[in-house]
Structure 1
């Protein structure tokens, strides 16, 4: 029989208030408090906190506090990833971000989602992975919804809501985001 954490990681319906998952989130909240309140500046202490918070991230990343995530261990970051202030990553499923990616202020990346059936929604949730390629720029206050893939070289315009995959070397804007221009490779 699978644990709720195993169900979450495999994309099945799971009970999010499970004791193990609650302990994982509480551990992350303590690390985020250290990052966002105690340190607040990117220094040696903040980098040590990030290494513990994001064990699957390249060491050459920069996160401008405040920052929020649920688990941390589901966030996989390449080299030279930059998160501006007030970003949120709900990482119940894997979030993969390539190298040389700029994440604008207030960007939200969601993997967690819920059944549309009211009775089910009161008991379980599920998650779908999000993937962002290399050399991307996600404009400020954009929302990336569960299950989407953004190709290499993509620019997402500020305030966009990405509800479906965006092909590489594209400029996408709006709510819902749509490709308005092909960019040169």
Structure 2
């Protein structure tokens, strides 16, 4: 987990730029606006399709594999990328959102890799955000309205039922559902 101050002038400006690109894409989901949106991402594989209504904060810390489909009105709350002068062992420690190959993301899904202070006095200072990565391994399907919280990894070939809230990591090749999401069965 990494702490950062999202209210610095540079991060406010970065979010404003990315939000405008998302807004333009939502208003007019043309190939040009999709190309511009994809150019902001940390990585965008081949044959990635993003429906209108997509929203993210920084984009540079989102990594999409090949053949990813993101349905309408999805929100990926990502963190800013750590500066090159600081070394980090893995993307999850940097608060990255990593989506593997062949993933299906249903409409209105939220991937929330950033959280705030639990202590109310610290939270009032608006100084700290905490980034912890989210990883969807290959061939994951998230049903409509799924919420995935920071620090979660969803194993390959797993399915998360519509409306579920995923608070803990999910095994590979399993079906999880509910709030909080629990294992229903192996696939």
TM-score (structure 1 length as normaliser): 0.88
> 2:120 matched to which residue of 1?
118
1:150 corresponds to 2:171:
no
* Mapping 1:13-52, distance limit 5 Å: 13-37=3-27, 39-40=28-29, 43-52=30-39
Number of matched residues?
170
Contact kept in structure 2, 1:110 and 1:144, CA below 8 Å: yes
Superposed counterparts of 1:1-185, under 5 Å:
11-37=1-27, 39-40=28-29, 43-92=30-79, 93-122=95-124, 123-183=127-187
| Structure 1 residue runs of 4 or more that deviate by more than 3 Å after TM superposition | none
TM-score by length of 2: 0.87
Using the alignment, how far apart are the partners of 1:65 and 1:28 within structure 2?
15
Cα drift, residue 53 of structure 1? 2.6
Q: Which runs of 5+ in 1 are unaligned?
A: 1-10
| Higher RCO (CA-CA < 8 Å; seq separation 6+) | 2
For the aligned residues, what is the CA RMSD? 1.2
Q: Could you tell which deviates more after superposition, 135-144 or 26-35? A: 26-35
Specify every segment of 5 or more residues in structure 2 that has no aligned partner in the other structure, as ranges: 80-94
